[in-house]
Structure 1
Amino acid sequence: MELSDQVFIALPREQVFAALNDPLILQQAIPGCEEIIQHSPTELEARVVLKIGPVKAKFKGKVTLDAAGAPQHFSLTGQGDGGVAGAAKGGADVHLEEVEDGTKLTYEAKAEISGKLAQLGSRLVTSTAKKLSKTFFDNFETIMNPKPEDTSSEEQDF
C-alpha cells in the first residue's frame, strides 16, 4: 500500500519539525493512540487501538526516525504487531518546505500488512489509512493552532 499527500501548516518549519518529534503532541494527534514511549531521540514505541472495517486491533509497535536532513527532510520506519488481527511494517519520507505563512509538508509512505488486515482487501485498508492520515493532520493542526475561545456569548461587564 502506498500513500502520499501534502498539507499546509501555518507554522515555521522548525516548529513543525519539533512538534512532529514530540511524543506528547504525537500521542494527542495519532488516532487511537493510547501511549507513546520515547526510548531515545530516534526511537519511539507506541500502543494504538484501531478499527478497520470489522477488525478492531490493538497494535504495539516501534518507530525509528532518521533525521539526517532535518528540518527539511526526515524519514520514519516502523513495524507494529496487532496479534491475531495481523501486523504492519513500513516507512515514510517527509519533506518540510518553508512557504509563505507556514510550512508545506509532503509525505510518501509505503506499508505492508499481513494477517486478517490483509484479508480485508486493499481498497478498505487504503481508504482507512487515508482517513487516519487526514484525522492525524486535522488533530495536529488543532493542537498546534488552537482556536481562541469564543467569548461572544459570555456576559461582560463594561
Structure 2
Amino acid sequence: MSSTRLIPAPQEAVWDALNDADTLQSCIAGCERIELVAPDTYDVAMAVKVGPVSARFKGRMTLSDIIEPQSYVIRFEGQGGVAGFAKGQAAVSLVPEGAGTLLSYTVHAQIGGKLAQLGARLVDSSARKMADEFFGKFLARFEGHAATAT
C-alpha cells in the first residue's frame, strides 16, 4: 500500500510530529502505548479489529535509514496472541511543497494466524481505513498552519 498526502505545514514541523510518540499515539486508532526504550526503538501496544477478529498487539517499532528531516523507515513486529502476528515496514519521505510538505509512504506487511485467514481484501480495506483515520487526525494537528499558509 502506498499513498501521498499534502500536509499544510513546513517540513520541519511535520518531521517533528512524525517523531513525537505522544502525537503518534493520539493519531493511531487503537494505540494504547508508544514508549521509547532505546534510541529509535519503541515498545508499542494497540488494539485492532479486522472484520470479526479483535486483537491486542504488543510489539516493537524501530526507526532506521534516518535522513533528518527527509525520510526514514519504520519497522514493526507484534504478537496478537491467538489472533496471530503482524510485521512490516513503512518507508516515509517528506518533500517541501510550497508552504506545505508532501508526505509519501509505502507500506509492506505480513500477517499470520487468524488474521491471515480473513482474506487479503478484508485486511487491505482495514489497513486503508486505519491509514485514513491516522491521516485525518494527523492533518487536524496542522489546521493552524493551513490558515497561516493561505
Query: Following the alignment from structure 1 to structure 2, what is the Cα–Cα distance between the partners of residues 144 and 131?
Result: 21
Determine which of 112, 117, 120 is the counterpart of 2:115.
117
1:53 paired with 2:16, answer no
Deviation at residue 145 of structure 1 after TM alignment: 2.5
Q: Counterpart amino acid of 2:129?
A: K
- Report the structure number with the largest CA radius of gyration: 1
Partner of 2:69: 71
Q: Counterpart amino acid of 2:124?
A: T
Query: Following the alignment from structure 2 to structure 1, what is the Cα–Cα distance between the partners of residues 9 and 142?
Result: 8
Query: Following the alignment from structure 2 to structure 1, what is the Cα–Cα distance between the partners of residues 112 and 119?
Result: 11
Number of residue pairs the alignment of both structures matches: 145
Q: Counterpart amino acid of 1:112?
A: Q
Q: Counterpart amino acid of 1:78?
A: F
* TM-score after normalising by structure 2: 0.92
Long gaps (5+) in structure 1: 148-158
Deviations 1:87-126 (A, max 9, x none): 0111011110000120000000100000000000000000
Stretch moving more, 63-72 or 102-111: 63-72
Query: Following the alignment from structure 2 to structure 1, what is the Cα–Cα distance between the partners of residues 26 and 82?
Result: 26
Query: Following the alignment from structure 2 to structure 1, what is the Cα–Cα distance between the partners of residues 21 and 93?
Result: 19
Query: Following the alignment from structure 1 to structure 2, what is the Cα–Cα distance between the partners of residues 144 and 58?
Result: 30
Determine which of 17, 24, 32 is the counterpart of 1:19.
17
Query: Following the alignment from structure 1 to structure 2, what is the Cα–Cα distance between the partners of residues 59 and 133?
Result: 17
Deviation at residue 45 of structure 1 after TM alignment: 1.1
Aligned 1:3-152 pairs, distance under 5 A: 3-145=1-143
Deviation at residue 16 of structure 1 after TM alignment: 0.6
Deviations 1:124-143 (A, max 9, x none): 00010001001001111113
Calculate the aligned-residue CA RMSD, in Å. Answer: 1.3
Deviation at residue 67 of structure 1 after TM alignment: 4.7
Deviation at residue 4 of structure 1 after TM alignment: 0.2
Query: Following the alignment from structure 2 to structure 1, what is the Cα–Cα distance between the partners of residues 10 and 64?
Result: 21
Q: Counterpart amino acid of 1:9?
A: I
Q: Counterpart amino acid of 2:48?
A: L
